Structure 1
Amino acid sequence: MVRQVWLLVLGVRVVNLALFDLDNTLLNGDSDFEWSQFLIEQGVLDRELFEAKNLAFYEQYKAGTLNIGEFLDFQLKPLSRHARKLLDEWHEEFMRRKVRPMMGEKARDLVARHQLAGDVCVIVTATNSFVTAPIARAFGVAHLIATEPEENDGEFTGNVAGVPSFREGKVVRLENWLSGRGWNWGSFDETWFYSDSLNDLPLLSKVRHPVAVDPDATLRAHAEKHGWPVISLR
């Protein structure tokens, strides 16, 4: 706080960092899970083959036992089977039918408060950037760190590019992102991360203000033990 006051006296703008998980945090639901369900409902994916698997992966994620490699193979392979133009058309319908109803006012207000304060706002999500980039734009958040699907000439290959943005991978990806902008953790006086999931404990433990949002039981217990705020955006 003393450093902030002196910087303000010297006319130096203080910049803080606000990080947001997306699924079941800003969104009242899981965009990864709903994208697969949407493709099943569209008849793009076979219900008998994919629905049970989609549910199983979602339960594993919530339990903290998800094998990210197996999940990404399941999630990204369908992208490689269809032209990007068609995928983009489907995504517009997905946003209208599935995503926008999950975007609540409390979540929008939280993001807006940090933006009005001049904080650097970043959505950090395990869900792939094809699914999440339009959602980040809908929240008005310019910066997105997500799992990156590999592309070849603008079309998806079905593979993942680089480190998945999951668990410790979120920390790696974020620190690489900061470094690319000439920043590090010490560049910010205040740092926040808002998340619902035990899977985000590695990144929650890195920020000055970890906030549990409608948390799962494991994260709630951890937050209460360590005196972290617990809030609801529902």
Structure 2
Amino acid sequence: MNIALFDLDHTLIPLDSDFEWGQFLVRIGAVDADAFAKRNTEFFTQYQAGTLDAVEYLEFALGTLAQFPRAQLDAWHAQFMEEVILPAVQPIATDLVKRHQDADDLVAIITATNRFVTAPIAKAFGVSKLIAAEPELDANGEITGKLKGIPTSGPGKVIHANEWLASMGKTLGSFANSYFYSDSQNDIPLLSVVTHPVATNPNARLKAHAQAHGWRILNLFND
């Protein structure tokens, strides 16, 4: 058996789901447009530059979610999927995931974005295993605004992937071939420990790193 890991934003979908969720909340009037949009854009710029404080951002995003009952959030997310995410999902990306699934590879999506935003997207790709930033929940299942555990970004992706595999008595070395698809230099730690790193729709920094190290470059959305 082989293993195939996928980043989500700008890798399997040609947008950033967390950023777009924030923009969606602004658009439907759920949050103060000027203040939220400004802060959301600042964080997104930091992410692109590789300077984002993951915990600070996640607790900003989760704090926004905590303002609303879970039932309301779920209703909004269904609307978000229909209006924003599903129209952006492209067959070339779903086919890539399916090729690994059809080969009986162990498949997972591993993303720095929180589980609330990404779980329905992983489901749309037919991927049952999602490793994502975990929001803390209270006894009633409501989001508290706090992050549970460590972020699933940068070196954190390696930690979380290893913990998941260890729970099954496996390591990355248990597999003949291990693949990780990502668009960002933020994911170089995990890309560096698989046998087949694939710079997918890479940003400029990851593209340069991939070229220097002889990694495969795959452009799903802009050939």
Q: Cα distance, 1:204 vs. partner?
A: 0.3
Q: Cα distance, 1:53 vs. partner?
A: 1.1
Deviations along 1:19-77, one digit per CA (max 9) or x if unpaired, are 00000000110000000000011111111101011111111101100011221121110
**Bigger CA radius of gyration:** 1
Counterpart position of 2:85: 99
Indicate whether 1:216 and 2:199 are aligned: no
**Equivalence map 1:76-87=2 (5 Å):** 76-87=62-73
- What TM-score do the two structures reach when normalised by structure 2? 0.97
Q: Cα distance, 1:219 vs. partner?
A: 0.3
Q: Which runs of 5 or more residues in structure 1 are unaligned?
A: 1-14
Structure 1: how far apart are the matches of 2:10 and 2:105? 22
Instruction: State the AA in 2 paired with 1:232.
Output: N
Which of 173, 176, 183 pairs up with 1:196?
183
Counterpart position of 2:40: 54
Counterpart position of 1:110: 96
Deviations along 1:129-169, one digit per CA (max 9) or x if unpaired, are 01101000000011100000000121000000011101001
SS at match of 1:18: strand
Counterpart position of 1:12: none
Q: Cα distance, 1:232 vs. partner?
A: 0.9
Deviations along 1:91-110, one digit per CA (max 9) or x if unpaired, are 00000011112211110110
* Dislocated runs of 4+, deviation >2 Å: none
Instruction: State the AA in 2 paired with 1:128.
Output: N
Instruction: State the AA in 2 paired with 1:221.
Output: A
SS at match of 1:35: helix
Report how many aligned residue pairs link the two structures.
Answer: 220
SS at match of 1:19: strand
Counterpart position of 1:35: 21
Deviations along 1:159-214, one digit per CA (max 9) or x if unpaired, are 00011101001111111111111111221010000000010000000100000011
**Equivalence map 1:10-29=2 (5 Å):** 15-29=1-15
Q: Cα distance, 1:215 vs. partner?
A: 0.5
**Equivalence map 1:124-203=2 (5 Å):** 124-152=110-138, 153-203=140-190
Structure 2: how far apart are the matches of 1:135 and 1:181? 24
Structure 1: how far apart are the matches of 2:182 and 2:24? 24
Structure 1: how far apart are the matches of 2:142 and 2:88? 28
SS at match of 1:22: coil
- RMSD of aligned Cα (Å): 0.7
Instruction: State the AA in 1 paired with 2:86.
Output: R
Q: Cα distance, 1:218 vs. partner?
A: 0.7
Structure 2: how far apart are the matches of 1:186 and 1:193? 14
SS at match of 2:24: helix
Instruction: State the AA in 1 paired with 2:163.
Output: N
Counterpart position of 1:6: none
Structure 1: how far apart are the matches of 2:167 and 2:47? 30
Q: Cα distance, 1:118 vs. partner?
A: 0.5
Instruction: State the AA in 1 paired with 2:206.
Output: L
SS at match of 1:43: coil
Counterpart position of 1:4: none
